Structures are given as structure tokens and as C-alpha cells.
Structure 1
């Protein structure tokens, strides 16, 4: 199992998996309204023709409402990994 290096403290790597490229782009657009981000990178996902989209979010440059949510949220000790995640 390959381990990717963690992003810097103020950044988050986001992976979006959707049935179509359009759905993945719509989700990415919403995230970009809340956070500064890098250019998205897309890849085929699965055997059914889905799309996997990757982007890096800058959480230090959050817009509202994300800024409010980040300042009041707390991390959970019970973070769960999906069965297909590494």
C-alpha cells in the first residue's frame, strides 16, 4: 500500500468520485466557492465509466460559510475509512 505525503496544515486533498464528469465538476464548483483551490485533475473511475476528480483546497483562505463552519467545527475521534479507501 502506497502512502501519499500529507498536505500542509492549511490544505486538504479532495477526491470526488461520480458517475459522470458533469456531476463531479458541479461538486468541485461548490467547493471552489468556499475555498481557494488548485486546478482540478480528472481520471476515469471504475469499470462503469465514472469520473474521479482531484483538487487541493486551501483551508486558510476559506470563504463564507466555510470560514464559519471551520471555526466552530471539531474533529471527531471516530473518523471512519470507507472499505475502498487506502
Structure 2
């Protein structure tokens, strides 16, 4: 049974579900290029086949381009939304 507790501060649990193990591995590889991550854990993805990968990423140790994206998203969250007035 999977834990329902949230990961520690600065970390995110990522679940990837794909039709093939190769596709899931490619997505995990991209995440590992952007963030420090744990080794992926692989599971079957239900009766229809497919693969489910789990990994934990550390967002406090982001590499480029994730660092740029995180900084941009933090800055936009601090700004209020523009009004719909013309």
C-alpha cells in the first residue's frame, strides 16, 4: 500500500503512467535532468498493460531549465491577475 503522507518540504512524488516502459523511462529521464531524483520504481499499470513509474524529485536542487521555470512561476504567483477591463 502506498503512503498517503506528503513528501518532505521541497520534494515532490511523481507518478508516470505510460503505455510502454520505454515512454515512461524517457519522461523520468527528463525529470532527472531537471531535478535531483531518487531511483525510479517500476510497477505494472493495470489490466490493460502499461507501466507506472514512481520517483521523488528534490525541487530545492533544480538544474536548468527547471530553475528558470520555478523562478518564473514563483514570480507570477506573487503578482495579482490583471483585470478584464479594456
Normalising to structure 1: TM-score of the pair?
0.80
* CA deviation after TM superposition for structure 1 residue 4, in Å: 0.6
Per residue, is there more helix in 1 or in 2? 2
* CA deviation after TM superposition for structure 1 residue 30, in Å: 0.4
> Is 2:16 the counterpart of 1:29?
no
Aligned to 1:44: 44
Moved over 2 A (4+): none
Q: Which runs of 5+ in 2 are unaligned?
A: 78-86
CA distance, structure 1, for counterparts of residue 3 and residue 16 of structure 2: 19
Aligned pairs, how many?
Answer: 74
Larger radius of gyration: 2
CA distance, structure 2, for counterparts of residue 41 and residue 67 of structure 1: 25
Aligned to 1:83: none
Q: Which runs of 5+ in 1 are unaligned?
A: 76-86
Normalising to structure 2: TM-score of the pair?
0.80
Output aligned runs, 1:55-66, within 5 Å.
55-66=55-66
User: Please, what is the CA RMSD of the aligned residues?
Assistant: 1.5
